[in-house]
Each structure stands twice: as C-alpha cells, then as structure tokens.
Amino acid sequence: MPKEAPPIIPKNLVLPTRLSPPYDVESSPTNNPTIDHLVERFPRELRDIIYFYLISDDLSVPFNLNEERLQSPFTNLALSTELLEAVFTHRPCRVTFCDPQLLFSNQVRPALRGDNLPHRDCIRNLIIRAREASREAACYGEDFEQLERFCAVKSNMIRQEWHEILTLPRLESLTVELQKWSKRNFTWFNFSPIVYQLRGRSPRPQIKLLVSFDEIMEPVWNLQANLEAGVADAELMRDLSPVPDDPYLPMGFADVSDLIEAPTGDDYVKGQLGRCRFEESTSTRT
C-alpha cells in the first residue's frame, strides 16, 4: 500500500493581530477547514513549529494585552488555543496598569487576573507600563513601617495588580516602564516587594526598570511655550494646550535598572564599614 504523501502547509497564512478586546481567540473570516485538516495531522511538536512560523514576523512587537485580540486562521478551537499559547510564549506581552482609584471603586479588574486572560501561564516576557505610586502614600516619606501598613492594610489595592505578576510561573523577564509624577524622589513601594520575591525565584527573571519624565516635563514645556507665544496668564490657567509651532517631543523611557539591582557582597561590606566609622566617630566625640 503506497504511503500517503505528507500534507503541504500553505505559506500564505496570515495572522492579523490589532483587533479589539477581549483576548480570546476567534476564527478569521477567511479561514479554511482544509488548513485545519492539514495541521491536525501533524504531531504537537511540528504544530508548534508551524505556529512559530505564523507569528515570526511579529516576534519583536509586544502583544498588547489591554487592546489586542488574536484572530486565528483555524476553525478548530484546539488549534486556535495552541496558537494563542505560542503567541504568549514567543512574543513579549505588554499591559498598562490602571489608576488604583479605578480598582478601589471596582470600575475595572486587574489586567493580569486569570479569568480576564486565558493562557496567561504561558507568558514569558512581560512589559508593564504604570504611573509612579500614589501621592497619598508618598506622604509617609521614609517612615517605612507606616508606609507598609498603609499598602498592606489600609490600601491593599495599590499592589493588587502587581501581585498578579507572581502568579506567572514561566516569567523570564519583566520590564517596568514607570511614568513619574514626583519631582523630588522615586516612589516604587507599590511594586518593590514583588521585585524582592521575583529575585528569590530559581531561575531568577531578568528585571528592568525604565523611567520617563514626560508627565512632569510636558506641562512645563507647554507653559513656557505659551508664555513665549504671548498667551495671557488667565488663559494659561485654563488651558496649557501645546503650541503648534513648538510641540513637546516625548523623551520616552530611560533605563535606570541599577536603582533596583540586588545588593552585592561589596555593597554589604561598604555598608558595614560605614557603620563602623560612624560608631568610631561617635565614641571619639563622647
């Protein structure tokens, strides 16, 4: 009996992505049941290669978990699900965390919560865009005990979305894109405990912190541009709209990962030497 010829996979399969929420899979209007029949005949290992081929053009483009919906070329739900797993495995995923006040009022749910996001366990590379921690908690300054009480007891919603990161079992890299509002210091108490817990994992995920000052600089730029354009002060107070001839150009995000790096042995030695010198100088004065 002659062997059946292996199926031929068309090279013109298209995977459109920029569609509207939610994030589950749906069939494409141009899907073809024949394609399903061909792909189903392969073992899972070969199907994974096919899925990687389908998404290879978009591997460097983050998949937006807030906005995008995967449109599958398959009619078979099982194949579409496997394709979604491949997207989450091989493409970086981006999510924007909302204002904590919306969480307080139950207007939104955490973007990374499992019931909102199927196959979230497959996410390996995650990019989070968020605003700096709230002004209300920042008033505690360096009183870390009171600050921790505020975050853990009085206002635990501040960390609710961040805690969802710890439920991603395959996470290999985390990039935090932080939009600053404070001109005086950095406040990251909303996610600092999560960083410590991720460091304790084996293998340890790569953690990067990127910071942008656009929310601070843009109003200042627009104010100065309006003044130079001769706009009246009363009007300035009502509307700091951009000047068309001199718009603000966003700076983007700068890498400041060294600010949250784990302390090294040298850091502990320097800290101990500093304490010894302080104690020595104190005893000399007395």
Please say whether the dihedral angle defined by the alpha carbons of residues 246, 182, 194 and 198, taken in this order, is positive or negative. Answer: positive
Whether 206 and 174 have beta carbons less than 8 Å apart is answered as yes
The CA distance from 179 to 187, in Å, is 11
The CA distance from 271 to 202, in Å, is 27
Q: E strands along 215-270, which residues?
A: 254-255
pTM: 0.71
In percent, the amount of the chain with pLDDT more than 90 equals: 15
Residue 176, Cα to own-chain centre: how many angstroms? 6
Domain boundaries, the chain: 1-91
Q: Which helix (H) or strand (E) holds 215?
A: helix 214-228
CA-nearest of 121, 99, 31, 21 to 64 is 21
**Predicted local confidence at residue 278, as pLDDT:** 47
Range of lowest pLDDT (133-147, 163-177, 243-257): 133-147
**Predicted local confidence at residue 23, as pLDDT:** 36
**Predicted local confidence at residue 7, as pLDDT:** 44
- On the 0-12 / 13-18 / 19+ scale of CB atoms within 10 A, 213 is middle
